[in-house]
Amino acid sequence: MNNSNALYIVATPIGNLGDMTIRAQEVLRLVDIIAAEDTRHSARLLQHFQISTPLLAYHDHTNEAQTQRLLDRLISGDNVALISDAGTPLISDPGYRLVAMARQQGVNVVPIPGASAVITALCAAGLASDRFAFEGFLPAKTGARQQRLEPLAADPRTLIFYESPHRIQESLQAMAQTFGEGRQLVLARELTKTFETFLSGSFIEVLAMLEADANQLRGEMVVLVQGYSAPSSEADSVDPEAQRIMRILMSELPLKQAAALAAQISTEKKNKLYQWGLQEKN
């Protein structure tokens, strides 16, 4: 290691152990201690690479005293490596508090890059990659999830989410309702592992694939959604009277309810009015 007295942010494999970089192995061997999200899980990784550096548990629920102990070790001259269960630390994983406090104390923070499920999925998805937004995990509760999704419906960037198997169908259904059933997406599952799979199509099509094959409901999942692209004439295609109704309703009601009521009053379709409302708000 070229840096002393440093906090190393070390990426570990997301599945295939062959993705562990040589530099990451060297750093984990030479630091004084490794702060890990799950010491039992990380112990197996270290054993595979014959690394004997001591492990210390560190996760989002770690108290301030534990964080301070790590900082004290760094300030006193020790080198500390931070790892998560898989992939790059801090990307929907613990570590933000420790990194922020280390930088505030003037401690060197050195990234050791490697695997990341976000980038791994994006580079093979076939969706636009020049601009993208990583949204992490959606809230479990319906109302909170809807609040997160609605502002994203008209976002032109590729949207990337993490999701667990037991919530994937519910989340995709919520996205379909908000983004439109015909919006294209890619579901990347079990990345770098034996059963790595990419499912692509509209929300209707991908949901049907999941319904038809229970095996597709297993493993770690990344959802990538095509960014919104509205025809230039879409706003003009909404009847002026429907636009007037929408503006009145939008001033008093959430967009989803406004579109539903305006569709009953006018001859326009609810989804079309919803998309128009998103453009109007933006």
- Chain segment 56-86, per-residue pLDDT in tens: 999 867 778 888 999 999 999 999 999 999 9
- pTM over cut 0.85: no
Q: Which two tokens stand for residue 147?
A: 């609040």
Predicted pLDDT at 1? 63
pLDDT at 245: 93
Of 168, 167, 172, 185, nearest in space to 121 by CA: 185
User: DSSP label at 203?
Assistant: H
CATH classification of 6-115 is 3.40.50.800, yes or no?
A: no
User: Rounded to whole angstroms, what are the CA distances from 190 to 33, 118, 211, 225?
Assistant: 30, 12, 18, 18
Q: What is the 3-state secondary structure (H, E, C) of 184-199?
A: EEEEEECCCCCCCEEE
Q: Which two tokens stand for residue 275?
A: 């998309």
Helices (H), ranges, 105-233: 117-125, 142-149, 168-179, 203-212
Calpha distance 226→175 (Å, rounded): 12
| Residue 213, pLDDT score | 94
Domain ranges of the chain: 6-115, 118-225, 234-281
**b/e for 114-141, b at 16 or more Cβ within 10 A?**
bbbbbbbbbeebebeeeebebbeebeee
CATH number 1.20.120.330 is the correct assignment for the domain at 118-225: no
Same fold, 6-115 and 118-225: no
Spans of the chain below 50 pLDDT: 235
Reported for 189-192, long-range contacts at CB under 8 A and 24+ positions apart, including other chains, are 189/216, 189/218, 189/219, 189/220, 189/221, 189/222, 190/15, 190/218, 190/219, 190/220, 191/14, 191/15, 191/117, 191/120, 191/121, 191/220, 191/222, 192/13, 192/14, 192/15, 192/16, 192/19, 192/115, 192/120
